[in-house]
């Protein structure tokens, strides 16, 4: 397996925390660059290789939600929000804006590294590719068992459909859809889906519902009804003919 260098951007206005995070992640083999505001981050982004972005919510000027919303539309980055705002509504706002993970300060650096590594492996998938070079990853059509109108483009985290322009997904949305399409007609529990998507001990099954809601909304905006059904008390199922 080819070794990959993980490129991380830190957007944090607390100088001490930003420097500590940068030192810790660099010491653990990551390439790190830093910004103390959204304005500086946007200036640097296109010049710096970036795979995962750690984003504080309470930034001067544009806040972290704005950064996440915009980046999630680009479908190129893993997004982790780091914040002292720990209410349920704040978590939902972060996840609905497109974040892959929403972590509450103070941050345990060792646990953060585990979550970063888990997210990195999900982003790489089975292709051991460099995220910023999607030409290394072949187009992956869905199998003949699935609805033929859907084709999953893993290189760009999008769904291609006959007669439609592609629907762009975030990495976590793509991972959920790919999982469901891999097992058509099979009901999967929300616990199993949660373990597949996040695999941590802080089980919050509502996060699965948030991702499902975002998926359905993106397809509905194109006039397409996504054939994914929630079965009360049992889980979620992809029904290509239903």
One domain for residues 119 and 161 = no
What pLDDT score was predicted for residue 2?
Answer: 32
Q: pLDDT band at residue 219, thresholds of 50, 70 and 90?
A: confident
- Model pLDDT, residue 128: 37
Residues 219, 176: contact at Cβ < 8 Å? no
Does the residue 131 lie in any domain? no
Domain finish residue from 124, 151, 179: 124
Mean pLDDT of the chain: 81
Identify whether 39 is part of a domain: yes
Residue-wise pLDDT tens digits, 2-40: 347 899 999 999 888 888 898 889 888 899 999 999 999
Is 111 in the same domain as 33? yes
The model's confidence at residue 239, banded by pLDDT at 50, 70 and 90, is confident
Q: Are 66 and 38 in contact (CB under 8 A)?
A: yes
**Quick one: 61 and 159 in the same domain?**
no
Q: Is 224 left (phi over 0), alpha (psi -120 to 50) or beta?
A: beta
Q: What is the pLDDT of residues 122-151, one digit of tens each?
A: 888 734 333 333 333 333 333 333 343 678
Domain containing residue 74:
7-124
Co-location of 147 and 46 in the same domain: no
Span 44-68, average pLDDT = 91
Cα→Cα distances 215→124, 134, 152, 170, 175, Å: 21, 22, 14, 9, 11
Q: Distance (Å, rounded) from C-alpha 237 to C-alpha 166? A: 23
Q: Is residue 177 part of a domain?
A: yes
Average the pLDDT over 199-209 and give the result.
Answer: 76
pTM listed for this prediction:
0.59
Residue 130 included in any domain: no
Is 232 in the same domain as 148?
Answer: yes
Do residue 12 and residue 93 come from a single domain? yes
Same domain membership, residue 161 and residue 114: no
Tokens of 1: 């397996």
Give 162-198 pLDDT, tens digit per residue: 777 888 988 888 999 999 988 888 999 989 998 888 8
Mean pLDDT of 70-83: 88
Number of domains in the chain: 2
Domain shared by 16 and 81, yes or no:
yes
Q: Residue 2: inside a domain, yes or no?
A: no
Query: Are 85 and 158 in a shared domain?
Result: no
**CA count, 13 A, side-chain hemisphere, 229:** 14
What is the separation of C-alpha 160 from the centre of its chain, rounded to a whole number of angstroms? 19
For the residues of 15-33, what is the DSSP string, one character each?
HHHHHHHHHHHHHTT-EEE
Q: Of 89, 124, 159, which residue is a domain's last?
A: 124
Q: Judge whether 187 lies within some domain.
A: yes
Q: Are residues 11 and 120 in the same domain?
A: yes
pLDDT, residue 203, reads: 66
Euclidean distance between CA atoms 184 and 180, whole angstroms? 7
110 and 171, same domain (yes or no): no
CATH number at residue 24: 3.40.50.2300
- Strand partners of residue 152: 159
Calculate mean pLDDT across residues 79-107.
84
Could you tell me which residues come within 8 angstroms of residue 193 by beta carbon, excluding any fewer than 6 positions away? 176, 179, 208, 235, 236
């Amino acid at each position: 397996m080819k070794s990959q260098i993980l490129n991380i951007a830190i957007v944090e206005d607390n100088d001490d925390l930003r420097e500590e995070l940068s030192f810790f992640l660099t010491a653990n083999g990551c390439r790190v660059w830093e910004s103390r505001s959204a304005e500086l981050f946007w200036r640097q982004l296109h010049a710096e290789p970036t795979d995962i972005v750690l984003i504080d919510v309470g930034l001067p000027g544009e806040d972290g939600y704005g950064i996440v919303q915009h980046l999630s539309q680009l479908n190129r980055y893993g997004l982790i929000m780091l914040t002292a705002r720990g209410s349920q509504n704040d978590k939902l706002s972060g996840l609905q804006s497109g974040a892959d993970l929403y972590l509450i300060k103070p941050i345990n650096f060792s646990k953060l590294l585990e979550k970063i590594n888990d997210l990195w492996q999900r982003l790489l998938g089975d292709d051991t590719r460099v995220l910023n070079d999607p030409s290394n990853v072949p187009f992956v059509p869905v199998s003949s068992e699935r609805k033929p109108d859907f084709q999953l483009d893993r290189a760009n985290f999008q769904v291609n459909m006959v007669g439609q322009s592609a629907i762009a997904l975030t990495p976590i949305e793509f991972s959920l859809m790919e999982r469901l399409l891999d097992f058509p007609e099979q009901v999967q529990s929300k616990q199993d889906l949660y373990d597949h998507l996040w695999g941590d001990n802080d089980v919050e099954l509502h996060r699965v519902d948030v991702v499902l809601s975002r998926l359905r909304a993106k397809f509905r905006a194109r006039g397409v009804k996504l054939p994914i059904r929630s079965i009360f008390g049992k889980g979620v199922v992809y029904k290509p003919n239903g």
